[in-house]
Structure 1
Amino acid sequence: MLNGVLAKAIVDMMIAFGVVVGGSMLAGIGSVFVLAPPAVYMIETATKLKIWAIVAAVGGSIDPMRVIESNMLAGNLSPVAVQIFYIICSFLGAHMGTELIKAICKGAY
């Protein structure tokens, strides 16, 4: 059970990281086509994508919130803790991606 939880947490973290980094890189490429400064667009996109990366990583819907609500009301705290752990891991992945983009664009911004 623990291996499955950790495996999903790591996958969620990497998905959120990839959404932020990939989306920001593509925004930078797109900004070159329209003759805009890539660093500005990359940082803005990374910041805006952070919340959506978390949503995409944890399932892309409201289901994790339903799991938290239904189990909290029933008194089952273990599934609630697992879902919150997944959300935290997704946030960490999205935040790492945002910080990486900021570090890459630091000299140009």
Structure 2
Amino acid sequence: MFWVYILRCADGSYYTGHTDDLEHRIVLHRNGECEGYTATRLPVELAWSQDCSTREEALSAERQIKGWNRKKKEAMMRGDWQEVARLARRRKKGDPSTGSG
């Protein structure tokens, strides 16, 4: 089993990742043991996660979500798929992503 997940950082930003051991990875993030983005934005909390059948599926979902803007990520975390679809239609093909939001 694999997971794609989103953490809410102390500065209000989101971090998206994937793992094969969600509980352990969250502990590592919370303890600042995952070098990089979250280590300088503690504390972090798990905002959302979804299980995936394969690592490839989890990585693909991670990459897709990382390309979304903040509003679209928040709609997904609320389970508001109608809003996710509406926000997807608003972007014109070829427009750059607005970042990790």
Bin of the TM-score, shorter chain as denominator length? under 0.3
If each structure's helix is expressed as a fraction of its own residues, which one has the higher value?
A: 1
The structure with the larger Rg is 1
TM-score normalised according to structure 2 size: 0.24
By relative contact order (CA 8 Å, sep 6+), the higher-ranking structure is 1
